[in-house]
A = this chain, B = another copy of it.
């Protein structure tokens, strides 16, 4: 089969939407799949081909998966109306879902046995980078698959790390990134809550620390949400309940010890249990503020 300029994007959420639009801008015919009718209508208006069923969007050479977790991935791939049964032999599946590495390996194996090519391709960068076609891909997979998908990957990502031919490498590196990201968000919450408890001005603390040795990408990004008391979800608490859950479970399988991950995970779980699951992940600060009998900005 010849690889041209057709692509399917399954899951038009925060990252998938940006990828799909970037592909349209790059001249691809893009088939978008989502279960939300309003999202499909918007996608049509942007010049995409909108489908409610994965199987109906199977005719593309490159198929991106941007669903939320491994259960959804299995469903859209192999479930009722799944895309694999309908896709041409040799189609390239680009798995952009943050999944446990062991799940990625299992799902990729099924795809390969069904005659498909696979790239393990978790992404990072957030919604705005995705919209700009500037995501980062932590990729692994056979060279042939990367060659076939090259133009599509270039359309959605500013940076494609090639971590090796083995499926699972991409997901493992992404997992390590999520470990750090999740612990750093919780640390930013702990630091700013203690600062408030000590009577410090949060804006001042933020301005000093973001240029000091205590800074992190997440402190700079999510710390601003806490200082401003703005918990509009850019990325939700529930995402880190999932992602740190993956880290803790995989660390258990691998025989690693992750005490900070477990501590941060417990905070995100407590936030979700308190009804904050759909708020911005910085809302983990509210859990610590409650424990300290404190009102942070934006808390009633």
**Which A182-203 residues have a C-beta within 8 angstroms of B?**
183-184, 186-188, 190-195, 197-200
Chain B residues within 8 Å of A209, by CB: 173, 176-177, 180
A113 in contact (CB, < 8 A): no
Chain B residues within 8 Å of A181, by CB: 213-214
A131 in contact (CB, < 8 A): no
A300 in contact (CB, < 8 A): no
Contact indicator A217/B214 (Cβ below 8 Å): yes
Complex alpha-carbon distance, A195 and B172, angstroms: 8
Q: Identify the stretch in A26-34, A86-94, A225-233, A260-268 within 8 Å (CB) of chain B at 4 or more residues.
A: A260-268
A22 in contact (CB, < 8 A): no
Chain B residues within 8 Å of A294, by CB: 256
Complex alpha-carbon distance, A242 and B288, angstroms: 23
Task: Kindly report how many copies of this chain are found in the complex they form together.
Answer: 2
Contact indicator B180/A191 (Cβ below 8 Å): yes
Contact indicator A187/B177 (Cβ below 8 Å): no
A interface residues with partner B (beta carbon < 8 Å): 101, 124-126, 136, 138, 159, 161, 163, 169, 172-173, 175-181, 183-184, 186-188, 190-195, 197-200, 204-205, 208-209, 211-219, 221, 247, 250-251, 254-261, 263-264, 266-267, 288, 291-294
